[in-house]
């Protein structure tokens, strides 16, 4: 996957060019100044299984790469999955850029990196987990939702009496889980995330809140998670990228759902005609009516929902960019301080000039048809 801003320059390069990276500086001045690789083994998720013809949870070889400019701006971030076996390995190229309802900042690829993307993957600025922690300091719910909306959604989605089991796919620091457990003493919850650091913070917060004995956290890819037993509520807000989109997320959630259970999902949509730049930043989204039509056609019925207001969307963006900028100003001696400040400013410009007037976010409580 290459960044939308560099794609036109790549397309202009002749097909038989021996080195794209060698040619780009001539016409654009773009230099691939930094590169990182990650090679590990992962369990096949729903999308992997469909593309590679294997069973979910089958062992796959994952090869991730990120290259950036000298300023730290991502140029490409392919995430390849290989089937383990003899002969030529087929490849599933999946865009795993964290998008989550989070808006990926210029110069970074960390929207809600703890959600479920690539374990151990580091961006050139500090690292993705640290970026996310800093940026969400003032807004621990990693989505454009205020506290009232979070309470409404949880109260509508949890079983009557607050009993039962809750699963958060891509739980990050566990803020949704902690709020649900604190409000409902009879509830038990589990979360899964690729970020060991985020899970450690969630455990510490759960202990401080006195709910640690009712919380189980799993370190792993949300798309390949295979828990024991079913859940009364499956939650995935802002982490649908981990499954390859909204409908694959709902398919995975359905597998974990107990009879009579509900799904709480949150994802982005176009609230106006997007520019090419907005699509390059946020990817291919649908408008809200089309999003709801696709959900209905997939066998789900919305029983509650919340469309994030302009105030919620703006508050989230100001908090995200402001927290990162404040950290940079408070740590002028840190070698990453300048780049953090530049990244916050660049993202703020993308938001205000690119997608502020066309991006929306919807959270839905869903029940399967025929349940």
CB atoms within 10 A of CB 205: 18
Long-range contacts of 82-88, Cβ-Cβ distance < 8 Å, separation of 24 or more: 83/52, 83/53, 83/54, 83/58, 84/58, 84/59, 84/60
Helices 288-297 and 246-256: crossing angle in degrees, nearest 10, is 40
- CA distance readout (Å), 161 to 130, 168, 186, 206, 213: 37, 19, 8, 21, 19
> What integer is the mean pLDDT of 120-138?
62
Nearest to 190 by CA among 235, 248, 129: 235
- Residue 293 binned pLDDT confidence (cut-offs 50, 70, 90): very high
146 vs 75, residue with greater confidence: 146
pLDDT score of 268 more than 90: yes
pLDDT score of 60 more than 70: yes
- Residue 43 binned pLDDT confidence (cut-offs 50, 70, 90): low
Close Cβ partners of 204 (under 8 Å, ≥ 6 residues apart): none
Q: Round to the nearest angstrom and report the end-to-end CA distance of the chain.
A: 39
Hey, where are the domains in the chain? 1-94, 98-371
Judged by DSSP in three states, 306 sits in: strand
- Residue 99 binned pLDDT confidence (cut-offs 50, 70, 90): very low
pLDDT score of 204 more than 80: yes
- Residue 83 binned pLDDT confidence (cut-offs 50, 70, 90): confident
Enumerate helices (H) and strands (E) in the chain, giving the number of each. 12, 12
CATH 3.80.30.20 describes domain 98-371: no
Structure tokens at 290: 């089309």
Q: According to the model, what pLDDT value does residue 114 have? A: 32
Question: How confident is the prediction for the chain on average, in pLDDT?
Answer: 80
Rounded CA gap, 253 and 368, in Å?
A: 11
pLDDT score of 72 more than 60: no
Q: According to the model, what pLDDT value does residue 318 have? A: 96
Q: Report percent pLDDT > 90 for the chain.
A: 48
Q: According to the model, what pLDDT value does residue 42 have? A: 66
| Chain CA centroid to CA 41, Å | 20
Interval 158-200: pLDDT, tens: 998 878 999 999 999 999 999 999 999 999 999 999 888 889 9
pLDDT score of 332 more than 80: yes
Dihedral over Cα of 338, 342, 345, 348: its sign? negative
Rounded CA gap, 252 and 306, in Å?
A: 22
User: Cα torsion for 162, 164, 170, 172, to the nearest 10°?
Assistant: 50
- Residue 27 binned pLDDT confidence (cut-offs 50, 70, 90): low
366 contacts 251 by C-beta, under 8 angstroms: no
- Residue 122 binned pLDDT confidence (cut-offs 50, 70, 90): very low
């Amino acid at each position: 996957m290459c960044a939308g801003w560099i794609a036109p320059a790549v397309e202009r390069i002749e097909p038989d060019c021996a080195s794209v990276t060698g040619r780009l500086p001539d016409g654009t001045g773009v230099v691939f100044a930094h590169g990182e690789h990650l090679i590990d083994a992962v369990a096949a998720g729903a999308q992997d299984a469909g593309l590679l013809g294997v069973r979910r949870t089958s062992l796959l070889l994952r090869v991730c790469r990120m290259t950036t400019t000298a300023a730290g701006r991502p140029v490409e971030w392919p995430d390849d999955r290989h089937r383990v076996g003899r002969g030529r390995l087929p490849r599933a190229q999946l865009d795993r850029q964290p998008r989550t309802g989070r808006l990926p900042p210029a110069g970074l690829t960390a929207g809600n990196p703890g959600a479920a993307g690539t374990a151990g993957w580091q961006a050139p600025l500090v690292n993705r987990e640290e970026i996310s922690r800093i940026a969400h300091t003032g807004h621990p719910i990693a989505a454009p939702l205020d506290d009232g909306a979070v309470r409404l959604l949880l109260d509508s989605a949890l079983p009557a009496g607050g009993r039962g089991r809750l699963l958060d796919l891509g739980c990050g620091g566990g803020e949704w889980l902690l709020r649900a457990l604190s409000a409902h003493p009879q509830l038990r919850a589990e979360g899964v995330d690729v970020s060991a650091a985020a899970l450690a913070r969630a455990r510490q917060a759960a202990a401080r809140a006195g709910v640690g004995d009712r919380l189980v956290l799993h370190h792993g890819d949300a798309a390949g998670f295979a828990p024991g037993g079913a859940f009364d509520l499956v939650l995935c807000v802002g982490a649908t990228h981990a499954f390859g989109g909204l409908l694959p997320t709902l398919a995975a959630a359905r597998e974990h759902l107990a009879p009579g259970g509900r799904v709480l999902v949150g994802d982005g949509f176009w609230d106006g005609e997007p520019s090419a730049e907005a699509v390059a930043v946020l990817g291919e989204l649908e408008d809200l009516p089309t999003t709801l039509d696709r959900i209905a056609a997939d066998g789900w019925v919305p029983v509650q929902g919340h469309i994030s207001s302009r105030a919620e969307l703006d508050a989230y963006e100001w908090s995200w960019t402001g927290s990162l900028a404040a950290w940079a100003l408070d740590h002028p001696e840190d070698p990453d301080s300048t780049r953090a400040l530049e990244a916050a400013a660049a993202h703020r410009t993308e938001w205000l000039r690119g997608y502020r007037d066309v991006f929306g976010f919807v959270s839905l409580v869903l029940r399967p048809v025929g349940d």
